[in-house]
Amino acid sequence: MFHSQDGLYFERITTLAQFGSVHVVKKDERGIVTWETVLSPESWASVVASMCQLGENSNTFRMFLALQK
C-alpha cells in the first residue's frame, strides 16, 4: 500500500475480479482502519484526470483509464 499522508493509503487491486480498481484506506494514529472504499478503474481514472493540469475531458479520461487497466 502507498501511504500518501495523514493515514491515507492507496493500493491498486490486481486480482482478476477487480483488476485495475483502487483500494483506498484511512487509518488512525494506531493503525486501525477508520474508513475504506474501492474505486473502479473508471472512477479512479476520472479522479486522476480531473486533478491533472488539463482537467478531465474525454481525452484525459481515456488516457488515464488505459493506464489503469
The Cβ of residue 28 has, within 10 Å, a number of other Cβ atoms equal to: 10
- Give me the pLDDT at residue 25, please: 98
Using CB atoms within 10 A of its CB, is residue 56 exposed (0-12), middle (13-18) or buried (19+)?
middle
Q: Is the Cβ–Cβ distance between 61 and 68 less than 8 Å? A: no
- Give me the pLDDT at residue 41, please: 98
CA distance 66 to 59: 11
- Give me the pLDDT at residue 64, please: 97
Q: What is the DSSP letter of 18?
A: G
Confidence of residue 27 (pLDDT cuts 50, 70, 90): very high
**Which structural domain, as residue segments, surrounds residue 37?**
2-68
Q: What is the count of structural domains for the chain?
A: 1
Confidence of residue 22 (pLDDT cuts 50, 70, 90): very high
